[in-house]
Amino acid sequence: MTVLGALHLAVVAHIAWGHVRPLCVLVARLVRIHPKLHVTFFTVKANRSKIVAEIARNFEDGEGDLERQIRVVGLDGNEFNPMDTAELENNFEQQLQNLVAGKAITCAAQQTQIPALQQAPNALIVDIFHYSIMQIARRVSPQTKIWGSGSGSLASSFTLFGPFAQDSHGQQHELVHQHVAETGMEFIDAAFKLIASPSDKVIQGPGLLPMFKYENFPQDRPIKAPFVGLFYLSASSVIHECDAYITQTAPIYEPPEGIKAFADFFAHRNTKMHMLGPLIPDTQRSAKIELEQAAKAPELVTFMQDALQKHGKNSLVYIAFGTLFWCMQPDRIWTVLDVLIERKTPFILSHASPFAKVPDEVAEKVEASGMGFLTSWAPQQTVLEHPATGWFLSHGGFNSITESIDAGVPLICWPFTADQPLNALHLTENLGIAYELLEVRTGSEATKPVYRTGKAPTCTLESVRAEAIFVFEKAFGEDGVKKRAAVQKLKESSLGLWKEGGSSRNAAQELLESL
């Protein structure tokens, strides 16, 4: 590595925890690689302490000096609504002006002054869903490089936020404007309709099998979220205009065609792409924190130990749909639990979503069976790494996938939306480390044909049940052994990514050297 002098990196991150957490890991690792790097990490003031704690777990004891080089700055702003960003943006603009002028800045969370640094930020990390931050930075600090940060897989980002070609910049915006002109719709609604709504169009990600666009929405949405269309437009703009693209993926998680598609696109724009995944805490300090957290759920730990003793290694199914998603026809979930109880397969269901409600009769049935453990919170890494755990039934968000692969646990996908259906396609058809449940689909498009099978699911409770029986039989049979072997192989590769000489570590070094 060439010798680098003092550097200043700024970050703005607040949109969703799944986007923020990997950046907490990244900045800590960058500082550990380059001890002369200073980081100013902006977020909404209400979330500051959570982020401080998350960054801290990526250091080891005795690294306090390095830790202090990351200054987390709380800004006044709305922590609940990711679209209400005006206040946050105004405050960020002021603070950035101060930073550029070499002045001290103020943290709104602590009402403290954060000392001036000698240099304006050399680079700013911007979430791809927050284009306006990029525009502010270009205006206030044109010398600062912008690193767009994407949080899904490359193949899905290319499909969802594209097109990405030599002349593609602004194309999507143009289409939306035309639609507004033709229909008189609001821009936000037109964007939602054209970009982020089901249709019969066939879409195909690089290196993925084709699917109908409606298959990207296999589950009814509890709330209509029209801002998703604007998010996708923002991602398109940031990816087209950034000076470098950083992602928490790595070649082992992607179809080679997905990597190539973006690499070719960026090559034309003279932009570099840096694959930095997985960005999951891996310090001894973090392992200790995981253990402490697991100790807060002693019954869950006991349940896993019992499962290991009674049913053996890899016998347990861990079910979790992330902190947000939940099936709007939860009978489907209860049907799957019934199948597990009948098979005498132990399971843990983590129902963290605010939309989740477990009826008393379901809780009682599970309790009486002794086969299941229901909880609104589970220490996910601990559960995945436990020897009892055999399968992860998951919505297939990118963080969950990388955590599962890195723990060597194959998956059963129950995707909801966004990148999840595309991820499921890659995991099942390309990597061979997962099954996908197709009969659990809900909503008006549920029973339309699945492109890759040519068949339409029936999506009744009977068909959900039949599919669950079939899939668990395969998973716990010979076919499942093959999938487990495949995921174990990926796990081995993933362990080397951030080691000395690993591709993600090299990519991080290159990123610093680009300054």
Ligand X SMILES: *[C@@H]1O[C@H](CO)[C@@H](O)[C@H](O)[C@H]1NC(C)=O
In the bound state with ligand X, the residue whose beta carbon lies nearer, of 80 and 223, is: 80
Residue 240: both structure tokens together: 């087209």
Do residues 482 and 476 lie in contact, with contact meaning Cβ atoms separated by under 8 Å? no
For the bound state, the minimum distance from the C-beta of residue 320 to ligand X, rounded and expressed in Å, comes to 17
Encode 65-76: b = buried (16+ Cβ within 10 Å), e = exposed. Answer: ebbebbbbbbbe
**β-pairing verdict for 105-107 and 112-114:** antiparallel
Shorter beta-carbon distance to ligand X: residue 16 or 140: 16
124: left (phi over 0), alpha (psi -120 to 50) or beta: beta
Closer by beta carbon to ligand X, 17 or else 42: 17
Beta strand spans in 280-371 (E):
316-320, 347-350
- Distance (Å) of CA 106 to CA 67, 119, 179, 306: 19, 17, 44, 52
Over 80-96, what HEC string results? Answer: CCCCCCHHHHHHHHHHH
Per-residue DSSP letter, 162: -
Task: Report in angstroms how near the CB of residue 64 gets to ligand X at its nearest.
Answer: 25
Ordered alpha helix ranges (H), 15-126: 17-33, 48-56, 64-67, 86-100
Quote the least distance from Cβ 132 to ligand X, whole Å.
17
- Beta carbon nearer to ligand X, 50 or 489: 50
What is the rounded CA–CA span in Å between residue 33 and residue 515?
14
What residues form DSSP beta bridges with 202? 212
Render 425-443 in DSSP notation, one character per residue: HIIIIII--EEE--TT--S
- The residues that touch ligand X, with contacts defined as CB under 6 A, are 14, 16-17, 20, 46-47, 79-80
Tell me how far apart the alpha carbons of residues 33 and 498 are, in angstroms, rounded to a whole number. Answer: 11
- What ranges in 80-186 are assigned the alpha helix state H? 86-100, 131-140, 154-161, 171-183
Q: Is 62 exposed, middle or buried (0-12, 13-18, 19+ CB in 10 A)?
A: exposed
CB 266 within 8 A of CB 245: yes
Q: Which of 74, 207 has the CB closer to ligand X?
A: 74
Pairing outcome for strands 411-413 and 434-436: parallel
Q: How far is the CB of 415 from ligand X (least distance, A)?
A: 22
To the nearest whole angstrom, how small is the minimum distance from the Cβ of residue 13 to ligand X? 7
**Residue 467 vs residues 55, 336, 456: alpha-carbon distances, Å:** 42, 9, 13
Q: Which CB sits closer to ligand X, 234 or 345?
A: 234
For the bound state, the minimum distance from the C-beta of residue 44 to ligand X, rounded and expressed in Å, comes to 6
**290 vs 381: CA distance, rounded Å:** 8
Shortest distance in whole angstroms from residue 50 CB to ligand X? 6
Residue number, 72 or 438, with CB nearest to ligand X: 72
Closest to ligand X by CB, 82 or 396? 82
DSSP 222-241: SS--THHHHHHHHHHHHHHH
Q: Which is nearer to ligand X, 79 or 306 (CB)?
A: 79
Q: How far is the CB of 394 from ligand X (least distance, A)?
A: 20
CB of residue 80 vs ligand X: minimum separation in angstroms? 5
| Backbone torsions φ then ψ of 42, nearest 5 degrees | -90, 140
Minimum distance from residue 82 beta carbon to ligand X (Å): 8
CB closer to ligand X, 16 vs 33: 16
Cβ 85 to ligand X, closest distance in Å?
12
In the bound state with ligand X, the residue whose beta carbon lies nearer, of 109 and 490, is 109
